[in-house]
Amino acid sequence: HIALGAGRDHLGDTDDVFTPCRSHVGPRRHLGHQCVEPFQAEISNHSRLVCLIMQTIGRGTKVFDASPVRGRFLAIESPDDVLALMDTGAEGVVGLVRDAGATFLAPIYHELAAVICTGGTPRSHIGIVSREFQVPCIMGTVFDGSEPANGSEVEVDCSGEQGVVRG
């Protein structure tokens, strides 16, 4: 938990203060360099805390060891989607592709935060390119339910035995 407002918790420590996000409207705040929409809760009537807990929504085979990264989920279905991202920028995008042999990501690969592929193995084209560009990648991903909505924040974690998608 990370404190949202100044005050003292049950240990008597002073809480840290989030800074308001100037790029978004509403309750979003900056936590380090990341803009988050906090979940607020009253804890023991001492302070408001923020939970930044994301639940596991999918698993697959990680391509290589990498620290967790967060970004904006976007299903990239065709070269037209890549062309659109070339115009608007793919920085911070976690791209979902279905074909492990897809080559149309090449022009934006260096900008992607991570890649999620619903097919293939780490030896597939997407896996090889991910290693080359050092972009975290999960292959053969199976989602627990439906895929995240485009634009939602997801986390790709390749630090454990399996690749994990959280949302």
11-49 confidence digits (pLDDT tens): 344 334 444 444 444 444 444 445 555 544 444 444 444
Q: What letters, b where the CB count within 10 A reaches 16 and e where it falls short, cover 13-41?
A: eebeebeebeeeeeeebebeeeebebeee
88 or 13, which is more confident? 88
CA distance 18 to 10: 19
CA angle 41, 43, 44 (to 5 degrees): 150
Give the confidence band of 101 by pLDDT, cuts at 50, 70, 90.
Answer: confident
The long-range contacts involving 120-126, CB below 8 angstroms and separated by at least 24 positions, are: 121/61, 122/61, 122/62, 122/63, 122/64, 124/100, 125/100, 125/101, 126/97, 126/100, 126/101, 126/102
Residue 160: per-residue pLDDT: 96
Residue 40: per-residue pLDDT: 44
Give the confidence band of 53 by pLDDT, cuts at 50, 70, 90.
Answer: confident
Residue length of the chain: 167
Residue 21: per-residue pLDDT: 47
Quote the pTM value. 0.70
Residue 27: per-residue pLDDT: 47
| Average confidence score pLDDT of the chain | 80
115-132 confidence digits (pLDDT tens): 999 999 999 999 999 999
CA angle 167, 36, 131 (to 5 degrees): 55
Residue 7 zone, left/alpha/beta (φ > 0; ψ -120 to 50; rest):
left
